[in-house]
A and B are shown apart, each in its own frame.
Chain A
Amino acid sequence: MTPTPTPTGAGSPPAAAEPPVGLPRLLAGVAGGGPPMDLLAHLSRHGPLPARGRRGPALIEVLERSGLCGRGGAAFPTFRKLAGVAARRGPAVVVGNGTEGEPASAKDRRLLTAVPHLVLDGAALAARAVGAPDAILAVHPAAAPAVAAAVAEREARRMDRVRFRVAVPPERFVTGEASALVHWINSGVATPTMRPPHVSERGVDHRPTLVDNVETLAHIALIARHGADWFRTLGTPGDPGSSLVTISGPVGRPGVYEISRGMTVREVLQAARGATEPLQALLLGGYFGTWLPSGEAMELRLCAEGLRPAGASLGAGVLMALGVGSCGLVATARLASYLADQTAGQCGPCVHGLAAIAGELDRLARRAGRVDLERLSRWGREVEGRGACHHPDGAVGMVRSGLRTFAEEVRLHQAGACSAASDAPVATGAGAAAGA
């Protein structure tokens, strides 16, 4: 590696690029399935990182005005998370969470393999803002080569002060939970830990740790360049900006799309060339999300305030469509079995409760005899809130919405019948979507 005279690296960086107008933002200049955007292409499209003069408090203040909320599922205000870590003493650590354990999501892999430098920019900026000499990119195995190559490009140009490390945690649902991810980095065991302490107080190597979803970091990279007002030109006042979503199920072109928060479900499905068969329901938000009848879902706006009245949220940006030919109870039971199987195995109510709930749902789906629905909902109430993490809560919420949305199907199954035209397998993953 040759030392370069200018520590800001990147030779003669191109002048700041024009901010993108409209969509796409994160995926601007990305052709479907092409190679990752390299550093030069990235810099000529987006311009150099803002100068080091813009210190941490300035970035956090811009993020506050931007209204950016986390894109990993919990939608926590990003500025608050950064401020919490920045306020701690001693060197911090930034963890970019791109583990994407959610089976119905492919957006983080897509982002990392298409525009890794946007995520690394965001991680470098966040590291600067919270006082972190180290940033760990914890990514899905499919994204690791692209991210590692991007890190190497930057190191060759001595672009960043922060030291990057790429890590590939085990592919389990619970690995993406912040405390589980930190636990894995520290000890090789990807299970959630008790709070307090929160990872922002004591995380990687006992240092204050910022765990942000990789899409959140990519938005930070653009907000730092173009400002809060620019970010707000898309989205709604209460939930600004753009967002990546993964659309699966019977639609013309399943895959990852960038949307403006506040677009309706109908508009977003149209972007995926619309439904290929009449839809009966949609799962919004992912495996921890909410089943809604398609009639109710279609005109909902995909933003916090639009989804709240329906008891839903966009989660990690998952829209899973279910056609009229499929059985909603079979789909719900499959998701429940998956989540029961994916318990970290630490907390009794989660281990036993989810297994029992999934078992009864499976009997109901298979029409293997009448199921005590009263007991099923009691189990749901009793399991909720009794884990060290929110795994049982998320699973129970999804099951509850399934039983509500497919209430007529429940009645039919209890009587030994089923409305579905076929017992064809229900698409419950983003396998096909990931390639699009």
Chain B
Amino acid sequence: MREVHLRINPIACEGHGLCAELLPERIRLDDWGYPLIAPDPIPPEVLEHARRAVAACPTLALALERRRH
């Protein structure tokens, strides 16, 4: 069984915050504008939004990652 997770590269992330706007189901921003990502896997119905958030990141800091469960 493979699960899809969002993974962030905190070095690349500059806190633009687009991901939280595009995927509020899974991502909110901390007090300094950096994304806090819910730890559980991405459910299938949200996957399309997650892909959009990944594509929108200006610094390519966000990625979808398949993990074996």
A contact residues around B1 at 8 Å (CB) = none
Are the CB atoms of A194 and B9 closer together than 8 Å? yes
Interface size on A, residues (CB 8 A): 15
Most buried by A among B9, B15, B30, B36: B30
A contact residues around B34 at 8 Å (CB) = 348-349, 352, 386
Q: Which residue of the partner chain, among A347, A379, A386, contacts B31 with CB atoms under 8 Å?
A: A379
A contact residues around B32 at 8 Å (CB) = 348-349, 352-353, 356
Are the CB atoms of A387 and B10 closer together than 8 Å? yes
Most buried by B among A353, A379, A386, A387: A386
Are the CB atoms of A348 and B14 closer together than 8 Å? yes
**How distant is the Cα of A112 from the Cα of B57 in the complex, in angstroms?**
47
Q: A349-B30, A353-B30, A356-B31 are in contact. Are A382 and B36 (CB under 8 A)?
A: yes
A276: interface (CB < 8 Å): no
A331: interface (CB < 8 Å): no
CB-CB contacts of B6-26 with A at 8 A, as 1s and 0s? 000111011100000000000
Known contacts A346-B10, A388-B10, then 4 further A-B pairs from the complex at CB < 8 Å, ordered by chain A residue? A348-B13, A348-B15, A349-B32, A352-B34
Give the distance to chain B from A182, nearest Cβ to Cβ, in Å: 15
10 intermolecular pairs with C-beta atoms under 8 Å apart:
A346-B11, A347-B13, A348-B10, A348-B15, A348-B32, A349-B30, A353-B32, A356-B31, A379-B31, A382-B36
Give the distance to chain B from A195, nearest Cβ to Cβ, in Å: 11
Interface size on B, residues (CB 8 A): 12
Nearest CB to that of B30 among chain A residues? A382
A336-352 contacts to B (CB < 8 Å):
346-350, 352
Q: Which residue of the partner chain, among B11, B15, B33, contacts A194 with CB atoms under 8 Å?
A: B11
Most buried by B among A348, A353, A382, A388: A348
A contact residues around B36 at 8 Å (CB) = 382, 386
**How distant is the Cα of A328 from the Cα of B58 in the complex, in angstroms?**
44
B contact residues around A379 at 8 Å (CB) = 31
A contact residues around B31 at 8 Å (CB) = 352, 356, 379, 382
Nearest CB to that of A383 among chain B residues? B30
Give the distance to chain B from A178, nearest Cβ to Cβ, in Å: 16
Give the distance to chain A from B50, nearest Cβ to Cβ, in Å: 19
B contact residues around A353 at 8 Å (CB) = 30, 32
B contact residues around A193 at 8 Å (CB) = 11
Give the distance to chain B from A177, nearest Cβ to Cβ, in Å: 13
Are the CB atoms of B10 and A347 closer together than 8 Å? yes
A164-218 contacts to B (CB < 8 Å):
193-194
B contact residues around A346 at 8 Å (CB) = 10-11
**How distant is the Cα of A386 from the Cα of B39 in the complex, in angstroms?**
12
Give the distance to chain B from A179, nearest Cβ to Cβ, in Å: 11
Are the CB atoms of B11 and A347 closer together than 8 Å? yes
CB-CB contacts of A385-398 with B at 8 A, as 1s and 0s? 01110000000000
**How distant is the Cα of A346 from the Cα of B14 in the complex, in angstroms?**
9
B contact residues around A382 at 8 Å (CB) = 30-31, 36
**How distant is the Cα of A246 from the Cα of B10 in the complex, in angstroms?**
34
